[in-house]
């Protein structure tokens, strides 16, 4: 049982060493609580503790990371001028609308 407690403590230290950009404090606490709960179970083995730790840190290894969202330039102004040679004919039955904007995920 002492080996298992030492193993759990070493894994807790490794969890603390994970960068804050990968795991926040609450997530680290939850991972430690899970390790504690598993270590207190009857018939627990070192292999089980190792497997639980590997499962918990898989989120860090394959977790999504997001780059900064692109921003539009706000310090410039663009002027548009109609080119009659390239324009479509002005017909009333043509009801198409061009929508210009940004479509970023929330």
Could you tell me if 47 and 5 are in contact, meaning their C-beta atoms sit under 8 angstroms apart? Answer: no
- Which of these, 58, 44, 61, lies nearest to 4 by C-alpha position? 44
- Which of these, 52, 41, 44, lies nearest to 15 by C-alpha position? 52
What pLDDT is attached to residue 12? 93
- What is the spatial distance between Cα 17 and Cα 31, in angstroms, rounded to a whole number? 13
**Better pLDDT: 93 or 34:** 34
Q: How many CA atoms lie within 13 A of 56 on its CB side?
A: 24
- DSSP-derived secondary structure for 31-85: HHHHHHHHHTSTT--HHHHHHHHHHHHHHHHH----PPPP----S--------TT
What pLDDT is attached to residue 106? 47
Kindly report, residue by residue over 1-57, the tens digit of the pLDDT. 688 889 999 999 999 888 877 788 888 899 999 999 999 998 999 999 999 999 888
H/E element, 14:
helix 2-17
**Residue in the structure block whose two tokens are 């950009």:** 21
Instruction: Give the pLDDT mean for 81-90.
Output: 79
């Amino acid at each position: 049982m002492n080996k298992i407690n030492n193993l759990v403590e070493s894994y807790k230290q490794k969890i603390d060493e994970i960068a804050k950009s990968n795991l926040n404090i609450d997530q680290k606490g939850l991972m430690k609580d899970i390790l504690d709960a598993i270590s207190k179970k009857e018939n627990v083995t070192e292999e089980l503790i190792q497997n639980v730790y590997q499962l918990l840190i898989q989120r860090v290894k394959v977790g999504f990371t997001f780059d900064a969202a692109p921003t539009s330039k706000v310090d410039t102004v663009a002027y548009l001028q109609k080119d009659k040679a390239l324009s479509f004919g002005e017909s009333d039955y043509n009801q198409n609308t061009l929508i210009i904007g940004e479509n970023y995920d929330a």
